[in-house]
């Protein structure tokens, strides 16, 4: 079920606010900039009244391309299926760990 437009925009803004207040520690300045870009992505989605499914589709299109680019750079310009597979598994684990932590917090009555 999809939330109404105004609800979706409000939730995107709320999540952007939370992400801004609770930034993750990144290893590089580029990572911090990427985090800021993702926060801006949420805000832009709110302003454009974008459907969450469309925003997820954008992420699904972009993340593999940039991930594979970094793998290739790490391998002197060559693609590496093994490393890409390893990264995909790690990404899956990170997503699931994050949702477990967020769900546990929400169940305990905390919003974030």
8 Å CB contact between 60 and 33: no
DSSP per-residue letters across 31-95: HHHHHHHHHHHHHHHHHHT--HHHHHHHHHHHHHHHHHHHHHHHTTT---HHHHHHHHHHHHHHH
Residue-wise pLDDT tens digits, 27-43: 999 999 999 999 999 99
**Sequence-ordered list of residues with C-beta below 8 angstroms from that of 16, at least 6 positions apart, any chain:** 39, 42, 43, 46
The predicted structure's pLDDT at residue 62: 95
Considering only residues 2 and 53, tell me which one the structure prediction assigns the higher pLDDT: 53
The pTM of this model reads 0.82
Residue-wise pLDDT tens digits, 42-92: 999 999 999 999 999 999 999 999 999 999 999 999 999 999 999 999 999
């Amino acid at each position: 079920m999809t939330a109404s437009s105004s609800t979706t925009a409000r939730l995107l803004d709320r999540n952007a606010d939370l992400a801004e207040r609770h930034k993750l520690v990144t290893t590089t300045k580029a990572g911090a900039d990427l985090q800021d870009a993702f926060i801006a992505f949420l805000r832009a989605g709110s302003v454009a009244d974008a459907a969450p499914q469309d925003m997820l589709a954008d992420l699904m299109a972009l993340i593999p391309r940039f991930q594979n680019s970094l793998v290739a750079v790490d391998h002197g310009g060559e693609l590496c299926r093994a490393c890409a597979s390893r990264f995909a598994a790690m990404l899956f684990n990170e997503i699931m760990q994050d949702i477990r932590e967020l769900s546990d917090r929400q169940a305990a009555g905390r919003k974030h």
